[in-house]
Amino acid sequence: MGRAGILANSTMVCAPLMSRSVEQMVIDMQSAEAQGADAVEVRLDYINSFQPSQDLETIIRNKPLPVIIVYRPRWEGGQYEGDEHTRLEALRLAHELGADYIDVELKVASDLVREVKNKHQTGGKVIVSSYLSGATPSKEDLSHLVASMQATKADIIKVVSNANDITELDRIFHLLSHSEVPAVAYSLGERGLISQLLCPKFGGALVYGAMEGNSIPGLPTLDSLREAYKVENINSDTKVFGLVSKPVSHSKGPILHNPAFRHANFNGIYVPMFVDDLKEFFEVYASPDFAGYSVGFPYKEAVVQFCDEVHPLAKSIGAVNTIIRKPSDGKLIGYNTDCEGSIASIEDALKDQRYINGASLNSPLAGKQFVVVGAGGAGRAIAVGAKSRGARVIIFDIDLAPKDFMREIVLAKF
């Protein structure tokens, strides 16, 4: 269920609904509430044979939550193909009937916003939106766009882009934290995900979450926003931690680390970060807000050069999977936890074999033949750990160039 108690932020979690009939829309609004939405976005352009006066009346009468009415035309990425007059009339009517918000595209906004505000004092608000077909514009271009949106007298402005790179999202965070009116801004796609998850940190008015069984490409689910990330707890002081990887969506990290932060009463969030270029990434996200990272495939070795200091074990392995930003000076310190983490769990699983012929050995791995398949960042760490426990290590890989850490390790090519 939605939110209760003292809230850390004023961001609403909103479920976009693309139901095909008004009856289904009413059912979906109820489900969205049950799944933790604070508001629903009703996409009129998806409803078959939409009858404005009758259908809007039904939707607004049955809404269990604040409702945002959207009637998106083809020219802005929606489904509506009819004439503009009919479309705008439906939005006017929605406002008049008491919709909490109507969402109007920037290109047609100025007259409509003025008109509905002068005509009906319903308390309903107007969102002026702009869908950018490509990447996120520069900070300057975005601020011009924001200025033109604010000039329409919108109550809320909304900008959506398609990020080609995670570093673009920094401009979205800048927009959210500098806008003079409440703003919604995010980027779609896997590279855009953190713009949605971190929106409450930067003061965004809405974050969108897809309902169960209704997955929308590039949107987190309502369940993940509420259960894994608990976005209602995020505020401007929340420290951001992320998994730097490519791809990244496979990781169980968010469902492991976020509950652990909460358990320790730590104000942090752990998010997947789809990174294409390590150098640019570390240059752009250099503020103390970005407090640390896990590093996954394929960057565990390449990331070493971006650390200001590297722990001796990580150095000897040649791979870093954990980075902490030192609060005192912002320096990035690289560690390798794959080595001890994996070896300790293997030892734990073998612990009954610690006693061979009554003799106690330091590690159940001592003297064992230990086979590692793959000499990437994780493989290296495990090989070094097994060797340190006295195992006889053999590494198989398709591409084996002997490296320092491999001394005394048998190498074999597939």
Ligand X SMILES: O=C1C[C@@](O)(C(=O)O)C[C@@H](O)[C@@H]1O
Q: Does 253 bind ligand X (CB under 6 A)?
A: yes
**Residues written for the chain:** 414
Mark the segment that binds ligand X (CB under 6 A) among 17-25, 278-286, 294-302, 324-332: 294-302
Least distance (Å) between residue 186 CB and ligand X: 23
Report the alpha-carbon distance of residue 374 to residue 113 in Å, rounded.
60
Report the alpha-carbon distance of residue 207 to residue 353 in Å, rounded.
52
Which is nearer to ligand X, 42 or 269 (by Cβ)?
269
Q: Pairing between strand 369-373 and 392-397?
A: parallel
Mark the segment that binds ligand X (CB under 6 A) among 166-174, 225-233, 289-297, 401-409: 289-297
Which is nearer to ligand X, 97 or 381 (by Cβ)?
381
Mark the segment that binds ligand X (CB under 6 A) among 57-65, 175-183, 219-227, 291-299: 291-299
Q: What is the DSSP string of 192-216?
A: GHHHHHTTTTTT-SEEE-BPTT---
Q: Return the axis-axis angle of helices 84-96 and 109-119, rounded to nearest 10°.
A: 30
Least distance (Å) between residue 372 CB and ligand X: 14
Task: Give the total of residues touching ligand X (CB under 6 A).
Answer: 11
Considering only CA atoms, give the Rg of the chain: 26
What binding mask, one character per residue, do residues 337-356 give for ligand X by CB under 6 A, x or -? -x------------------
Q: Which two tokens stand for residue 408?
A: 């005394």
Which is nearer to ligand X, 203 or 253 (by Cβ)?
253
Which residues are known to be catalytic? 300
The CA-based angle 401-407-409, given to 5 degrees, is 85
Cα 60 vs. chain centroid, distance in angstroms? 31
Which is nearer to ligand X, 214 or 245 (by Cβ)?
245
Least distance (Å) between residue 292 CB and ligand X: 11
Q: What are the beta bridge partners of residue 80?
A: 73
Output b/e per residue, 141-180; b: 16+ Cβ within 10 A.
ebbebbeebeebebebbbbbbbbebbbbbbbbbebbeebe
Which is nearer to ligand X, 288 or 298 (by Cβ)?
298
Report the alpha-carbon distance of residue 354 to residue 363 in Å, rounded.
6
The interface with ligand X within residues 301-340 (CB under 6 A) comprises 321-322, 338
Q: Which residue is nearest to ligand X (CB)?
A: 296
Mark the segment that binds ligand X (CB under 6 A) among 96-104, 219-227, 245-253, 352-360: 245-253
Q: Does 243 bind ligand X (CB under 6 A)?
A: yes
Which is nearer to ligand X, 79 or 251 (by Cβ)?
251
Least distance (Å) between residue 220 CB and ligand X: 17
Among 251, 255, 301, 354, binds ligand X (CB under 6 A): 251
Least distance (Å) between residue 293 CB and ligand X: 8
Quick check: 311 and 336 in contact, CB under 8 A? yes
Least distance (Å) between residue 380 CB and ligand X: 12
Quick check: 323 and 333 in contact, CB under 8 A? yes
The CA-based angle 298-300-305, given to 5 degrees, is 115
Which is nearer to ligand X, 67 or 317 (by Cβ)?
317
The interface with ligand X within residues 378-407 (CB under 6 A) comprises 378
The interface with ligand X within residues 122-181 (CB under 6 A) comprises none
Least distance (Å) between residue 205 CB and ligand X: 31
Report the alpha-carbon distance of residue 302 to residue 318 in Å, rounded.
9
Q: Is 233 helix (H, G, I), strand (E, B) or coil?
A: helix
Residues that bind ligand X (CB under 6 A): 243, 245, 251, 253, 294-296, 321-322, 338, 378
